[in-house]
Structure 1
Amino acid sequence: MHSQSNNQYSRRNFLKVSGVVSLGFMGLYACASRTVASSGINTSKGYGPLLPDPNGVLNLPKGFSYKVISKQGTQMSDGFFTPGKADGMASFAGSGGKVILVRNHEISPSSLADSPFGQKNELLSKIESNKLYDFGKGELPALGGTTTLIYNPKTQSVETEYLSLAGTIRNCAGGRTPWNSWVTCEEAVDKAGEKLEKDHGFNFEVPASEKIGLAEPIPLKAMGRFNHEAVCVDPRTSIVYETEDRPDGLIYRYLPNQPKELAKGGRLQVLAIKGQKSFDTRNWKLLETAKMPLRTDVEVEWIDIDNVESPEDDLRYRGFDKGAARFARGEGMWFGTNELYFACTNGGFESKGQVFKYVPSPEEGKPGEKNSPGKLQIFAEPNDSDIVKYCDNLTVAPWGDVVLCEDDAHPFVVGITPSGDYYKLAENTGYKSEFAGGVFSPDGNTYFVNIQGPGITLAITGPWRSSI
């Protein structure tokens, strides 16, 4: 534990050592007990105030409307039932202007009410056991996975819906690849034993396909075994970045041996702040450590880590001991133009959430990055529940703003402009459950989002901006 004077010194030292390049931030330190200022909600930067929904489900700005396009428990095109606990999603361009949506389901083996096979798993016999990653010895099959929806924007309806990955556990978020697949992530570290046949805690790849069928359930073990949340891929390099949903989680980088071939192995690394070994980015009030300032670039380095299948679920501990930075529940992650963003659900001085921005090095993943390292900053940390609370899944809008989902009983969809203004896009008034999986269609005309509790997926249309 550091004294207050030592703590102040370490903050100054952090700025000196970490390669800070932004100026004009020093006013943030005028009050030592609060590291981040907030610009508040600015409706002029968004689409105006949210208007009451006569149906009591979803408040939206003027000119916007929504439609429920999928609901838990309905029979899908392949005969199975739409699973519950819809979570992360991505959209892809389909034929004839249609949209392919790949959607996660955060289901545990015991959650029979959410099962795609019926509430007594009565349809389990309809699936080939080798297409199910973990059959659970026929007694406790893993019920998580993904579904794929083929959506027609002209009719605002789903034409096809099917199970596209089965037998995994708690598929939370994931990430879109530039080669038209979805990497889905298990937020679980269950191990094979009395009831389960396989270890869990892996990523799986699902092609974005209009053809009904289950993807081969191949665990991407070289990407690490841990409590995964999300990934994103830099289209220029095929490098994959990964978040870990733990209060003391890390940020990971996967360098595939072959571009676009994630299953063919690669190197796993962990993010560290240059010159600040084992730095804590969480900025929690009770932590007497250096606080990371808002919107101030710091240089990073990446550290190799071994034994990535981590039977003891200790990657985050070993990485931190090697010098990796610590983050507060890494969640949604998305690649923008030349940068990526990720959310930390309970980071920040008031533990209400942070959004980070990372700009990769021009020599990312190559020896030259040591001389021109990537840069990390806290993009948002408002420390005010009226602005943002418990940010989870996020995406980058066609016009360049970060659009995030709140994980709360009374959640909003919130936009953040590049300059740091906040605005509300939607309010869930119908269900005491989180928003999840928010993503825009490839043409930017539709925003898809889930409300997890009732297991519904909505399509929101209106006068969306078309570009930055």
Structure 2
Amino acid sequence: MSVDRRTVLSGAALVFSGALGALFAGGADAVPAPRGAAGGYGPLVPDPHGLLDLPHGFSYRVLSRAGGRLRSGEGRVPGHCDGMAAFRAGGGRVRLVRNHENRADAPLPVPKVPGLVYDPYARGGATVLTLDAAGEVTGERVGLAGTAVNCAGGRTPWHTWLSCEETEDRAGTAGYAEDHGYVFEVDPADPRRTGAVPLTALGRFPHEAVAVDPYRGTVYETEDAFVAPFGLFYRFLPHRPLGGVGSLRAGGTLEAMRVPGVADLSVVQEPGAEFPVEWVPVPDPSAARTPVRLQDFGPRGITHAQKLEGCYWGGDGVHFVSSYARGREGAAADHFGQVWFHDPRTGRIRLEVVFGPATDVALPGESPDNICLSPDGGLMVCEDGGGAQYVFGVTRRGAVYPLARNADNTGTAQAPQWSEFAGVTFAPDGRTLYVNAYDPGTTFAVTGPWH
């Protein structure tokens, strides 16, 4: 991304290319439009502490930083902070469940707490922060341990967190004692209630994120594969839909999405383009011999997409992100990021948003990653590309604005580097935005004059 475009982004609201009507819950008339000509909160103000640049009137609090001490006394705060969600805890309190995308050589592993460990040789997992009504951290503990490369995930309608392993390493590789590539459920109120049990029926593949249909109980899953053949978009039909804590252990049917006539989603470049979809049973969800994306889905094949990342439910459907596509890496066409919408009622998908300079040099970004809906019906996007890293906001009317910029230079003055953002989510009351800087792992609470 060019320096000139970065400079522009720091001081102006811009416009996406896309048909945004279905992207935001409630529609264009549900909530008054944001103030200002194009939405947003104005230019970002450099942070004198060199951590997080925000618009005027906004402030942040560092809730947790890798290497500190967990308040539970269980060990140090793990690194590589990634996906996250916020849950009500009563009395104005909030619990944050936060993933740690630790591989086998991670220097700050999730501490191994008895009863919460899946594989004693894996270093990933999740932690739980408890905040009081004033936003102060009153507790921080392990919620899941002994898992690997816990990237993103998603919340359930029964108020638990589904933590996803973005790997498919088998027992005996990377020093692991167990197979990996699973989804695990974490109860933020009582992690021992859920333990460290893989939800094997949801498949074994490099999971990125999940979203649960709150009306039907269907679980949607993205597969983050950046090497061809790329990942798939899945749905899981539980035997006990919306059954509450532990119900996904009862099993179900895993299916992969086929878009007839479209082998690779990257060939679709026009926002608003719609297609019917078919759902094809996965031959072997356990990937005992062959990775799922390489299995035989019949003569009509299956639909792939490079770097399927964020996945969330909003309005009447599920939204999912393809972070980028590169022809030189095997994609059918290039793009800098897409947001898709699937409507289960109509059985169709639609390309909602196209990112980046391939569409317009004034557009933000490349490599959208974690995404959430904001209380005003807009969108928050964590960027995971080159150069400076931003959290962008998008209004319902398609105006794009910078909300935060990572000011923590982990490189040098001559070769600066800034970590990606991850885990963007709002407090249940909509008054605080929580977000992680991946490395060094830092969790921020951002407050200000939200529209």
Q: Do Structure 1 and Structure 2 share a fold, with TM-score over 0.5?
A: yes
* Aligned position for 1:454: 440
Q: Between Structure 1 and Structure 2, how many residues are aligned?
A: 388
Q: Which secondary structure state, in structure 2, belongs to the residue aligned with residue 282 of structure 1?
A: helix
Q: 2:264 aligns with which of 251, 273, 280?
A: 280
TM-score w.r.t. the length of structure 1 is 0.79
1:198 alignment partner AA: E
Q: How does 1:116-135 map to 2 (within 5 A)?
A: 116-117=110-111, 127-128=113-114, 131-135=116-120
Residue 456 and residue 313 in structure 1: after superposition, are their counterparts in 2 closer, same or farther (change >3 A)? Answer: farther
Distance 2:249 2:199 in 1: 6
Query: RMSD between aligned alpha carbons?
Result: 2.0
Q: What is the CA-CA distance between 1:422 and the residue it aligns to? A: 1.7
* Contact 1:269–1:305 under 8 Å retained in 2: yes
Partner secondary structure for residue 225 of structure 2: coil
Structure 1 residues 263 and 406: alpha-carbon distance in aligned structure 2, compared to 1, 3 A threshold:
same
User: Corresponding residue for 2:239?
Assistant: 257
Correspondence for 1:357: 341
Matched, 1:306 2:286: no
1:292: how far off?
Answer: 4.4
Say yes or no: does 1:445 pair with 2:440.
no
Range with greater deviation from structure 2 (66-75 or 189-198): 189-198
Matched, 1:346 2:346: no
Could you tell me which runs of 5 or more consecutive residues in structure 2 were left unpaired when the two chains were aligned.
1-18, 20-35, 327-332, 410-417
Q: Distance in 2 between matches of 1:331 and 1:312?
A: 25
Hey, what does 1:218 align to over in structure 2?
A: 197
1:327 aligns with 2:305: yes
Q: State the match for 1:402 in structure 2.
A: 379
From 275, 291, 295, the counterpart of 2:272: 295
Amino acid at match of 1:360: P
Q: Quote the Cα distance in structure 2 between the aligned partners of 1:313 and 1:452.
A: 31
Note if contact 1:226-1:313 (Cα within 8 Å) is conserved in structure 2. no
The answer (yes or no) to whether the contact 2:183–2:198 under 8 Å persists in 1 is yes
Distance 1:251 1:341 in 2: 11
Q: Distance in 2 between matches of 1:221 and 1:98?
A: 33
Q: Residues 328-358 of structure 1, C-alpha deviation per residue, up to 9 Å, x if partnerless?
A: 2111111112122222111386432111122
- In the superposition, relative to structure 1, how do residues 323 and 167 fare at CA in structure 2: closer, same or farther (>3 Å)? same
Selected match of 2:44 from 40, 50, 54:
50
Aligned twin of 1:5 = none
What is the match of residue 180 of structure 2? 200
Preserved contact between residue 166 and residue 214 of structure 1 (Cα < 8 Å) = no
Kindly indicate which of the two structures has a greater share of residues assigned to helix.
Answer: 1
Name the counterpart of 1:180.
159
Q: More deviation in 162-171 or 414-423?
A: 414-423
1:25-64 → structure 2 map (5 Å cutoff): 44-64=38-58
Give the corresponding residue for 1:27.
Answer: none
- 1:375 maps to what in 2? 348
State the Cα distance separating 1:115 from its structure 2 match: 1.6
SS in 2 for 1:219: coil
Look up the match of 2:145: 166
Task: Tell me, yes or no, if the aligned pair for 1:336 and 1:400 is still in contact at 8 Å.
Answer: no
Deviation at 1:282, TM superposition (A): 1.4
Offset, 1:153: 4.3
- The alpha-carbon deviation at position 383 of structure 1 amounts to 2.9
- Structure 1 381/312 Cα, relative in aligned 2: closer, same or farther at 3 Å? farther
DSSP-derived class of the 2:293 partner:
helix
Could you say what secondary structure the match of 1:191 adopts?
A: coil
Superposed displacement of residue 214, structure 1: 7.6
Structure 2 letter corresponding to 1:459? A
- The answer for unaligned runs of 5 or more in structure 1 is 1-21, 23-41, 118-123, 136-140, 284-290, 362-372
Once the 2 structures are TM-superposed, how far is the Cα of residue 377 of structure 1 from its aligned partner?
Answer: 1.4
**Alpha carbons 1:43, 1:49 under 8 Å: kept:** no
Name the structure 2 match of 1:78.
72
Return the alpha-carbon distance in structure 1 between the equivalents of residues 250 and 423 of structure 2: 28
Shift of 1:305: 1.4
Computing the radius of gyration over CA atoms, which structure comes out larger, 1 or 2? Answer: 1
Change (3 A) 1:313 1:87: farther
- Give 1:296 deviation, angstroms: 2.3
Whether the 8 Å CA contact 1:163–1:214 is kept in 2: the answer is no
Q: Distance in 2 between matches of 1:65 and 1:339?
A: 33
Change (3 A) 1:250 1:319: farther
The equivalent position to 2:125 in structure 1, one of 125, 145, 150, is 145
Once residues 296 and 130 of structure 2 are traced to their aligned partners in structure 1, the CA distance between those partners, rounded to angstroms, is: 41
Aligned partners of 1:225 and 1:313 also within 8 Å: no
Shift of 1:375: 2.1
Judging changes above 3 Å, is the alpha-carbon distance between structure 1 residues 69 and 292 closer, same or farther for their aligned structure 2 residues? same
**CA gap 1:350/1:53 in 2 versus in 1, 3 angstroms:** farther
Residue 416 of structure 1, CA deviation: 2.3
Question: For 1:357 and 1:464, how far apart are their aligned partners in 2?
Answer: 26
| Equivalent AA in structure 1 for residue 201 of structure 2 | A
Per the TM alignment, residue 152 of structure 1 is displaced from its structure 2 partner at its CA by: 2.2
Does the CA-based 8 Å contact 1:360-1:374 persist in structure 2? yes
For 2:292 and 2:123, the matched residues in 1 are separated by 26
C-alpha separation in 2, matches of 1:193 and 1:174: 25
Q: Is the Cα contact below 8 Å between 2:184 and 2:199 reproduced in 1?
A: yes
CA contact (8 A) 2:83 2:151 kept: yes
Deviation at 1:418, TM superposition (A): 3.4
CA contact (8 A) 1:415 1:423 kept: yes
**By how many angstroms is 1:319 displaced?**
6.3
1:236, CA displacement in angstroms? 0.4
Partner of 1:97: 92
2:295 is paired with a residue whose SS is: helix
Amino acid at match of 1:145: G
In 2: Cα distance, 1:153 partner to 1:435 partner: 25
Kindly, what percent of the aligned residue pairs are identical?
39
Q: Is the 8 A contact 2:116 2:192 kept in 1?
A: no
Measured after TM superposition, the shift of residue 64 of structure 1 is 0.9
Paired with 1:172 and 1:319, the residues of 2 have a C-alpha distance of 27
